[in-house]
Chain A
Amino acid sequence: MAKDMSFAAVMARKNEILMQSLGIDFSKFEMGTIAFDYEGMMASIGMDFDDITRIQLEQGVGATPMLELRNITALARKYAPPGFGARIFIKDEAANPSGSFKDRRAATAVHTAKRLGFKGVAAATSGNYGAAVASQAAKQGLSSIIVQECFDSRKIGQPEILEKARKCEAFGAEVIQMTVGPELFYKFLTILEETGYFSASLYSPFGISGVETLGSEVALQIRALTGKDPDAVIVTHAGGGNITGTARGLAQEGCTAPIIAASVNLKGLHMASDGHFNRKSFTTGHTGFGFPFATWPDRSDMPRSAARPLRYMDRYVLVNQGEVFYMTEALAQLEGLERGPAGNTSLVAAFALAQEMPQDAIIVVQETEYTGAGKHIQPQLAFARKNGLNITFGNPAEEICGENIILPQHPGLIAARDVEMAGMRKSLIRNTLQRMTPGTQLTDVDVEFLAAETKSSADWVREALQNS
């Protein structure tokens, strides 16, 4: 009998489809009432850290340069109190084969697909990850399908996403482009079912453990270059895999530097809104993903996400679109580096935070990404203007998302604005409670799990539970 391919029927088969397309039985990691064995899941992937390093080097991934941004540092010092203005370093992840750190995630995912005997890989992503999967699939000899949320209902696409489609096709991938909406996942599931391909999810333990090498390289390179550990590592945050993998890799090397997440503030823009879709100039590294994925990581295309950002985040700062555009141009003009928006989001934060730190301190931006047609700030600003956004110089703090883009009148106006961490942690706990089966109780195992999930303590969790 033919399978029922209706939306409801396919979504009801979701867990079964994902289990077959990943080779992971998630149920065996469940513990307590709401907890699961996160470390057990991460350890179940059949590769250890040395295997991953070797696999990535074989595929031309990783071992990217660490660059000191001396002119950007000097510029920050112009606005810092005497003796302040930390040295800013940036890890040039754009040097990876498809131009971003996402190659690390794709290398391990595609390797696993091949090891398990899959003929192809599929991923639902509008971003760099699609290009990374397509590139690794090309290199490792598998087919690939990338499903993108790409167009609004007028078939107008964000230039950055259109560029990503081109790049995926350049690597031989089949690209499926969809209009706005979370039901893209429905099409994705039907593709997995039809093709029997591996789900190269952004959030699988295979992918996330691939990012651990990035954190490790940061620690080792900074030690080699400066003789000490970094004093802060800034990570551009969206779905949380970047911060999770980087933090785990830093820990692997015994590096305890504070880990600071940075996102572009897209307050007021709804990610699933057809009308808002093309009123934003950023397709990742923004709060539209950053908040929901931090406070409820299991919203992804996996029963249990391997990206669990609040476990690793010491601080979370927001920057504005205009500041990232400005810093992107400053990086080109002062350092001779044309790079894309995602890494420059963290660079804005680093520029501001360096001014709070002494001159001998080290602050690391852990990635750059490539730029080019569509992704570059010129097509992005031109696209924003065409969509009716007002682009001016002024105080970026006054930017209203979807209405204007305010380029800083001068670099002294660039700021990193703190998000209250306690509020985020409580939100994660609230989201967990909301999804509990009625009539069930939390056990000690669950409280310990929530403490790990929120980088807090069992006592803090108990108190938060009492007040919620």
Chain B
Amino acid sequence: MIKAETWVGICATILDAGSRADGIPADTAAVPLKMWVKGYLLADCEIGSEAEIRTATGRIERGVLEEVQPHSNVDYGAFVPEMLKIGADVKKVLFGGEIHG
């Protein structure tokens, strides 16, 4: 049970797969338009159940409780070995006198 006033993330379906706008690509039309938004839980609730939240601007939104205290996990990604070559190459051309091409 997640306690009221916990900061959470909910998910709601805005348009069902069958009722997407005309003219959008078939792969998009085949899936629902979904929305995620964060806020304070208004009442105690289980993950996966319908919940109401109060967002950062004080609006009320309704949806399925998905995340508790959601956090950003954006990072610098896995190592990309190709990047090493770029710096070495341009320095060689500029300072090592080498011209390709």
Contact = CB atoms under 8 A, between A and B. Distances in A.
B82 A272 contact: no
Contact of A173 (B56, B74, B89): B56
B80 interface: yes
B101 A79 contact: yes
B19 A7 contact: yes
B83 A410 contact: no
Contacts of A153: 31-32, 34
Give the interface residue-count category, chain A.
35 or more
Contacts of B36: 150-151, 155, 176-178
Contact of B101 (A273, A383, A412): A412
A187 B14 contact: yes
A393 B94 contact: no
Given A162-B74, A163-B74, A195 B27 contact: no
A458 B82 CA distance: 52
Interface residues of B, number: 45
Interface stretch (A45-53, A326-334, A422-430): A326-334
A441 to B, nearest CB: 29
Contacts, number: 169
Given A273-B25, A274-B31, A383-B77, A410 B93 contact: yes
Contacts of A292: none
Contacts of B100: 409-412
A262 interface: no
A182 B86 contact: no
Contacts of B19: 7
A186 B14 CA distance: 9
Nearest to B74: A374
Contact of A272 (B14, B28, B57, B74): B28
Contacts of A162: 72, 74
A175 B82 CA distance: 35
B21 A374 contact: no
11 contacts: A7-B21, A151-B36, A159-B74, A175-B37, A181-B20, A181-B21, A184-B33, A186-B15, A272-B25, A379-B77, A412-B101
Interface of B: 14-15, 19-21, 24-25, 27-28, 30-39, 55-59, 72, 74-80, 82-83, 85-87, 89-91, 93-94, 99-101
